[in-house]
Amino acid sequence: MHSRNVSSIALKGSDHRRATNVTVRLDSQQKKLNLSILPTTIIGSFPQTVELRRVRREFKANKISEDDYVKAIKEEIKKVVDLQEELDIDVLVHGEPEVSRPFCFGHLQ
């Protein structure tokens, strides 16, 4: 649901509770993922590379096709995943290469 008014009206009390308790979910996650006690991961976007910015700029200017743009994004994702595997990160992320503007915490000043 894309409208906040509609989505909040449609919520039921049971929507705020999980079907299983936390210990059941943790056991299930551990069996499936086999994570360490303190798994490592990355939070947020990876830095935008010069190459990625160039590709995005060319795509917006219709200098490259959508297929070429998607191919470049996928190549960037592969680099990010390879780096995380090399660093032995437990829970991998794709790095959000499609995000053109990182979130700014300027409103907290």
Residues 6+ apart with CB under 8 A from 73: 52, 55, 97, 98
Q: 105 pLDDT exceeds 60?
A: no
Residues 6+ apart with CB under 8 A from 95: 42, 45, 46, 76, 77, 80, 81
Question: What pLDDT score does 103 carry?
Answer: 53
The model's pLDDT over 52-65, given as tens digits with 9 standing for 90+, comes to 999 999 999 999 99
Question: What pLDDT score does 84 carry?
Answer: 92
Mean pLDDT of the chain: 84
In this prediction, residues 1-24 reach a mean pLDDT of 75
Domain chopping of the chain, boundaries: 4-108
Q: Residue 41: what are its φ and ψ, rounded to 5°?
A: -155, 180
- Percentage of residues in the chain with pLDDT exceeding 90? 43
